[in-house]
Structure 1
Amino acid sequence: MNVEPLCNMPLLQSMYAETLRLYTSLFTLRSAPHGGLTVCDLTIPKDELIAVDSRVSAMDSSFWNTGATSTDNEGEHPINHYWAERFLVYPKDPTSGPLRFNASKPKFPAPDRSSHITGSEPHFTMDGLAGAWLPYGGGNRQCPGRNFAKYEIIRGFAIVLSMLDVELLDSDDVEPRKPDMKFYGLGTLPPKGKVPFRVRRRD
């Protein structure tokens, strides 16, 4: 199997990124070794341990695109629902991509969306997501194996689905597929309940 083209497919990359956004929760430990760190009105002393919760930024509906047309609208794709195309930019749709297009005060620099009006196919992007998408930690100390992990996750997914037909049963019932918060902060969040499915070997 040629892994490179497979792992560069925009939709598979978006599905991968959205799965990790929605179904991971971890605390990244950091400190300020060079002096006190002031955040809003709080000062964190030098060398004091800081725990950064990845789930807070991953579930910020004022930051992430939900398909909303106004800041008061939840949109077609709420932040607590899986949306396979959340990380795709469509050349003719300036409101596409992972960032909420009309956020009044974006927390991070937004990419220049005019640069995306080329070609006709959607492309995957992580532009503007520093400090918001943190399944591997953040900064220059994030997991060094993250690129290898991405390749293995996408390749494993492709191998399974090339050999098996997997059909979700009761596909309209999303409640069992919600993350189980008993595992909050420990990495992967498994489904809250049993998720029935049928598997058949492909001919």
Structure 2
Amino acid sequence: MESELASCAGLKGNDHAKATTMPLLQAVNAEVLRLHVGIGMTRVNETVDMNLGGYRITRGQPLLIFSRLSALNDEAWMRAGRSPENTGCLKEFHAGRFSYQRKTKRRGPGRGGGGGGGGGRSSAGSHGMRYSMDGLAGLWLSYGGGQRMCPGRYFAKTEMISMFSILFSQYELELLDVLGSVEVKADLRWFPTGGLAPDRKVPFRVRRRRSI
């Protein structure tokens, strides 16, 4: 990520608009939200009666959809062409779920992407890396989904990546307990209210960066 941050640096400061188009920065942002945001979405069946997974859902019946269930569904991600066998366990962080080398073609059913500050867009970087949310419309639900998806998702994405680029272009962060940090999980006591904090304290040291 340092090379992407460096490419966005200038004499007048960081180019935040450019930072939000960097493939790896976008992929890291998407993976953080997948693992550490858990929301519940209320929806109503506005069409006809239907059967879904053995359950009958009548017209007008309210539904509650949890983003974390789809975010950790191995079978669904495999059908979307993002097999956990290739990108790692869904319970663990792996930015490769949303990025790949440009010569590799993603294959998977579905149109568009999961929205969430990326929508169905994909973008390529100078090192052959490409960011893509294609085929993840029903799996990556950190900002909700469908017609009532969060309208501020692009603004939120810009805020997060811009803040990250500012902090990590000027400061270095060092984990004081690297092995212990591997065991840190999302605190599910906050599910499904939004951001999931770490389930324990994570000690770290911050120092100003001399150059990037």
Alignment TM-score, normalising by the size of structure 1: 0.79
Conserved 8 A contact 1:176-1:192 = no
Aligned-residue CA RMSD (Å): 2.3
Where does 1:123-134 land on structure 2 (aligned, <5 Å)?
A: 123-134=130-141
CA positional deviation for 1:120: 6.5
SS class of match (2:179): coil
Q: Please, which moves more after superposition, 142-151 or 58-67?
A: 58-67
Verify: 1:77 aligned to 2:88, yes or no. Answer: yes
Letter in 1 for 2:141: L
Aligned to 1:109: 110
Deviation string, structure 1 residues 138-161 (Cα, Å, up to 9, x no partner) = 001100000010000000111111
Q: Number of aligned pairs?
A: 180
Match of 1:44 among 41, 44, 57: 57
CA positional deviation for 1:45: 2.3
CA distance in 2, matches of 1:176, 1:169: 14
CA distance in 1, matches of 2:52, 2:84: 31
- Closer, same or farther in 2 for the Cα pair 1:76/1:130, shift >3 Å? closer
CA positional deviation for 1:44: 1.6
Where does 1:1-203 land on structure 2 (aligned, <5 Å)?
A: 1-62=14-75, 63=77, 65=82, 68=85, 77-93=88-104, 108-109=109-110, 121-203=128-210
Structure with a larger share of its residues in helix? 2
Deviation string, structure 1 residues 65-121 (Cα, Å, up to 9, x no partner) = 4662xxxxxx67211111122211213446xx6xxx7xxxx7x4389xxxxxxx960
SS class of match (1:148): helix
Alignment TM-score, normalising by the size of structure 2: 0.76
Identity %: 35
Show structure 2 runs of 5+ residues with no match. 1-13, 113-125
Show structure 1 runs of 5+ residues with no match. 69-74, 112-118
CA positional deviation for 1:122: 1.4
- Closer, same or farther in 2 for the Cα pair 1:79/1:174, shift >3 Å? farther
Aligned to 2:11: none
